[in-house]
Structure 1
Amino acid sequence: MQKTKILIVASFSPSLIHFRGDFIKSLIAARFQVYTAAPDYPILTKEQLNNMGAIPLSFKLERTGINPLNDINSIMELKSLMKQNEIDVVFPYTVKPVIYSSIAANLLNIPVISLITGLGFTFTGLSRKAIILQRINEFLYKNSIRKNKLTIFQNKDDYKLFLDRKILTPENKVDFVNGSGVNLDKYRFRENDKSTTDIKFLFVARLIKEKGVDLFIEAAKVLKVKFPDSQFHIIGEPDQSPSAINITELNNLHADGIIIYHGKQNNVEEHLYNSDVFVLPTYYREGVPRSILEALSVGLPIITTDSPGCRETVKFDYNGILIKPQNQEALTNAMLYVLEHPEKVKIYGIHSRAYAKSKFDVDLVNNKLITLINTVISSK
């Protein structure tokens, strides 16, 4: 029997390994022929995809900004790839791939299952540029995904926003998954018998204000005075965003012993194993943050915001603490609570792993995605 050809479309090719690698393996095990489409594959990423049994295809894409001519060219390239490879179903994720490949596939009458992995800067920022981009994206979403067979969300807040902004209608078919899932075998659990205040807090994210790194730093300045043995680790690097943290400031804080700045790291698992509490005070429109899922699996207590995508990862006083977004006092007090009650590190950590196993196991997520894909194909 001929295999169903599925095209997974991404804006950043390494994410096909880090975020979708287990999904691709599951699809291949379920006898799909998997194609991927992304710009600028590193040689290693292509090799990894080929070794899995996937077929990587390239197309040009400007990941940021809007240039109508380049965007049209991206759509036409995607359309050509779909037609040449006789794709049966398209599965895009992140903003531009969802919009552009939906338009391309709809022109060819190929079913699309779009995955909304968070709404990002344009639905978070309050600057004039962010508001303009928000309006443009709303228009593009509305005119691309309404014809899709299914739209999958990672949290119900994003779906509500799509309904409120009339991007989707109640008649559009939608479903939900618990983020991208986490591989429980890769991020192994380790019990942490913490009883002292030399607690290591870990922040991992892009170093932009929307992710809450400045709030984390301010909390570190306050808490380091009262608890000199505590540590505040930061992994990540500033980018070209106007809200990026100044690298000189980070290096100065590191030199002063207030934070421990690691820069960008490829061995985040090791840092998770060597930490006590994971902190992400983001107010960015997340889907479900992958970094939190990895921390849950390892068995770290979580301190994060009561905001879309994040609130799904924490049960209050079970595996962590939810705080109000953009609230410095709330963050500092949450971290202070753990320092004053170090026994919570072990209790919350055990519960984090249990929560990851019951809700965010990558096998649970991928099995549901494949079931949804097969349902769409069977109704074609």
Structure 2
Amino acid sequence: MKPKHILIVASYSPSLIHFRGDFIKSLIENNYKVYTAAPDYPEKTLEELKSIGAHPIEFKLERTGLNPVKDLKSISELKFIIKKYQIDLVFPYTVKPVIYSSIAAKQSNVSVISLITGLGFAFTGLTYKARTLQRLNEFLYKISIRKNKVIVFQNKDDYALFLDRNIITPKNKVAFVSGSGVNFNKYKFRENTKTTPDIRFLFVARLIQEKGINMFIEAAKTLKQKFPEAQFHVIGGPDQSPTAIKLKALKQLHKEGIIVYHGRQKNVPEHLYNSDVFVLPTYYREGIPRSILEALSVGLPIITTDTPGCRETIKKDENGILIPPQDLNALTQAMAFFLNQPEKIKSMGLASRAYAEERFNVNIINKDLIKLINDVCFKEIKN
């Protein structure tokens, strides 16, 4: 039987390997021909995608900001790609790909399964700019995704918000997956038996205020006074966001011994293995953070915020601590909990791995997505 053609659309091309590589492999193993569309492929990403059997296509997309002329060109390019490669199904993820691909596919009479991976800064409602962007994004989502075959969410909070804001209706077909999942062969479990006070806390994220980097640093400053042996590690490259922390400030904090700044790293698993507690005090509107899933898999206790997506990763009092968003005192106390009781790291780490195996196995998540494609979308295509 001739394989069906699937177009996976992303705004950041390396994520096609890092977050969707196992999914692409699974699709190909199930006799689908996979095309990927994204802007600005690094040569390494192109090679990796081709090596697993995908067909990468480049198109122009402004990842941030709004430029009507450029955005219309992006939609036009996607329509051209859909027609040229005889696409049967479009599978976009993240905000702009979901909106633009859904419009392009609808105009091309092609089915869409869209994946909502989180709502980002725009839906935090914290600033006038965020509230303005939220209203605009709500309108764009409403006109683009209502005709999609399925809308896949990573948490129930985002689904409830879409219903409440009338972006979708109860008649829309939806499904839920537990994030992008984690490959246990890449992020292997290691048991931590540390009982000494030289606890290594690890922060891995975009270095912007909404991800909690400033709070992490302030907590480190406070805790260093009482627990000088504690270490506070930061991984992430410089960011162009207006709320990004400056590289100069990070280097100065590193020089002062407040944090250990590693910059952008390719060997994140190694840093996870060498850490004791994973910290992500984000108030960004997450789907389910991939960084936490990786930390769960390795067997790290988690400190994160009681917000959509993040709360999905914690079993209360079992594998980590949930704190209120933007609560520095709560974050400091949560980190001090492990410094005062390092023996808790082992039991909570074991619980993290068990929870990862129970809920976040990438093979189970990919199987569910492929079943969704088979049962819901391709059945309708054939009919």
Same fold per superposition (TM over 0.5): yes
Q: Which runs of 5+ in 1 are unaligned?
A: none
Cα distance in 2 for partners of 1:69, 1:93 equals 22
Counterpart position of 1:352: 352
Counterpart position of 2:296: 296
Cα distance in 2 for partners of 1:305, 1:206 equals 16
Counterpart position of 1:132: 132
Counterpart position of 1:332: 332
1:273 Cα shift?
0.5
1:89-128 CA distance string (max 9 Å, x none) = 1100001100001001001111100000000011125222
Counterpart position of 2:321: 321
Q: Give the AA of the match of 2:379.
A: S
Query: Contact 2:142–2:167 (CA<8 Å) still a contact in 1?
Result: yes
Counterpart position of 1:378: 379
1:269-293 CA distance string (max 9 Å, x none) = 1100000000000000000000000
Cα distance in 2 for partners of 1:345, 1:40 equals 41
Counterpart position of 1:102: 102
Counterpart position of 1:280: 280
Cα distance in 1 for partners of 2:181, 2:230 equals 31
Counterpart position of 2:342: 342
Alignment of 1:202-351 (within 5 A): 202-351=202-351
Counterpart position of 1:20: 20
Query: Contact 1:272–1:298 (CA<8 Å) still a contact in 2?
Result: yes
Counterpart position of 1:72: 72
Cα distance in 2 for partners of 1:233, 1:174 equals 39
SS in 1 for 2:170: coil
1:205-262 CA distance string (max 9 Å, x none) = 0111100111111111111111111100011133121211122222221111111111
Cα distance in 1 for partners of 2:219, 2:44 equals 39
Cα distance in 2 for partners of 1:231, 1:43 equals 36
Alignment of 1:126-205 (within 5 A): 126-205=126-205
Query: Contact 1:5–1:34 (CA<8 Å) still a contact in 2?
Result: yes
Query: Contact 2:125–2:134 (CA<8 Å) still a contact in 1?
Result: no
Alignment root-mean-square deviation, CA: 0.9
Q: Give the AA of the match of 1:377.
A: F
Query: Contact 1:208–1:238 (CA<8 Å) still a contact in 2?
Result: no
1:46 Cα shift?
1.1
Is residue 2:50 matched to residue 1:53? no
1:166 Cα shift?
0.6
Counterpart position of 1:3: 3
Cα distance in 2 for partners of 1:242, 1:316 equals 34
Q: Which runs of 5+ in 2 are unaligned?
A: none
Query: Contact 2:301–2:320 (CA<8 Å) still a contact in 1?
Result: yes
Which range moved further: 36-45 or 282-291? 36-45
Which range moved further: 40-49 or 325-334? 40-49
Counterpart position of 1:30: 30
1:311-352 CA distance string (max 9 Å, x none) = 000111111111111101110001111111101110011111
SS in 2 for 1:166: coil
Q: Give the AA of the match of 2:151.
A: T
Counterpart position of 2:93: 93
1:147 Cα shift?
0.5
Query: Contact 1:283–1:325 (CA<8 Å) still a contact in 2?
Result: yes
Cα distance in 2 for partners of 1:238, 1:284 equals 18
Query: Contact 1:236–1:263 (CA<8 Å) still a contact in 2?
Result: yes
Cα distance in 2 for partners of 1:32, 1:71 equals 29
1:38 Cα shift?
0.7
SS in 1 for 2:130: helix
**Percent identical:** 68
Cα distance in 1 for partners of 2:41, 2:276 equals 35
Query: Contact 1:102–1:112 (CA<8 Å) still a contact in 2?
Result: yes
